[in-house]
Amino acid sequence: QVQLQESGPGLVKPSQTLSLTCTVSGGSITSGGYSWSWIRQFPGKGLEWIGYIWHSGSTSYNPSLKSRVSISRDTSKNQFFLKLSSVTAADAAVYYCARSNRPASPPEGYFRHWGQGTPVTVSS
Amino acid sequence: EIVLTQSPGTLSLSPGERATLSCRASQSVSTSYLAWYQQKPGQAPRLLIYGASTRATGIPDRFRGSGSGTDFTLTISRLEPEDFAVYYCQQYGNSPPWTFGQGTKVEIK
């Protein structure tokens, strides 16, 4: 059973870069056809898909964040990463990493496996 | 970007009653690429339904998804105590961004 675990600073200053790590166990992030996404949930409970990295290493981002977001990976550690630059208070949320349900090409965009989420506050 | 609107915002029902949740899309969702999730406080969302009507592994058959195009429904045939939660729909059409509805809270009456 694949498991995901987010980690990273819980507090980021405005204008700085938010950096989070998702550590995956029970499955390889290079397994064919799965997408590995970052999703955030705002305090008002709305959910927003941020982007994904595919098994091949290709990425796709939400256009609303595209100029500020980067998703990368370290296959040797079975981890993938989120970087979000120039953060403001509007970026405060619980950040989740998640995996798609089944291998597919192009990748499917719904999520069977989730981490427990990590809260991020933006404040000086 | 496809906007999903869920209704009602809150549904107050008793255990054993039937719950009907609606999700309407601002444009047609390709190939019924619509999912439903359940979220309880302090937990990540849990996948219930994908492809508009296919139950995910381990999901009881009292959960049923239906619909196509722009109108989708999640029906819980008989509410169990553990079903009181917030439910989200999500579209995952061929072209991201993939988007979520704002949620429907099913609360105990």
> pLDDT tens digits, residue range B9-36?
999 999 999 999 999 999 999 888 999 9
Give the N- to C-terminal CA distance of chain B in Å, as an integer: 36
The angle subtended at Cα B45 by Cα A80 and Cα B36, nearest 5°, is 115
Helices (H) and strands (E) in chain A, counts: 0, 11
Question: Does pLDDT of B5 surpass 80?
Answer: yes
pLDDT of residue B76 exceeding 90, the answer is yes
Sort out which chain A residues have CB atoms less than 8 A from B100's CB and list them. Answer: 46-49
Q: How far does Cα B24 stand from its chain's mean position?
A: 11
Q: CA–CA distance from B106 to each of A39, B31, B84 (Å)?
A: 23, 28, 5
- What is the number of residues in chain A? 124
Asked if residue B94 has pLDDT above 80, the reply is no
Quick check: B98 and A108 CB within 8 A?
A: no
Asked if A64 and B97 come within 8 Å (Cβ–Cβ), the reply is yes
Q: Is the pLDDT of residue B93 over 90?
A: no
Chain B closest CA to A55's CA: distance in Å? 17
> What's the confidence (pLDDT) of residue B31?
82
* Under 8 Å between Cβ of A84 and A17: yes
Contact A95, A20 (CB under 8 A): yes
Measured CA to CA, the distance from residue B18 to residue A15 in angstroms comes to 48
**Which amino acid would we find at residue A57?**
G
Looking at residue B23, its pLDDT comes to 98
Q: Token match 């595209």: residue?
A: A66
CA-based nearest distance A70→chain B, Å:
15
Q: Do the beta carbons of residue B55 and residue B61 sit within 8 Å?
A: yes
Tell me the chain A residues in contact with residue B47 when contact means C-beta distances shorter than 8 Å.
101, 110-112
Query: Can you give the pLDDT at residue A105?
Result: 84
**Using CB atoms within 10 A of its CB, is residue B28 exposed (0-12), middle (13-18) or buried (19+)?**
middle
B42 φ/ψ sector (left φ>0, alpha ψ -120 to 50, else beta): left
Residue A121 CA to residue B86 CA, distance in Å, equals 23
Q: What pLDDT is attached to residue B32?
A: 87
* Interval B101-105 mean pLDDT: 98
Cβ burial of A23 (10 Å; 0-12, 13-18, 19+) is: middle
Residues of chain A with pLDDT under 70: none
Q: Give the pLDDT of residue A106.
A: 85
Please give the pLDDT value at position A48.
98
For residue A19, what pLDDT is reported? Answer: 98
Task: Please check whether residue A52 is in contact with residue A60, taking contact to mean a CB–CB distance below 8 angstroms.
Answer: yes
Cis link prior to B8 (omega < 30° from 0)? Answer: yes
Using alpha carbons, select from A102, A114, A109 the residue that is nearest to residue A32.
Answer: A102
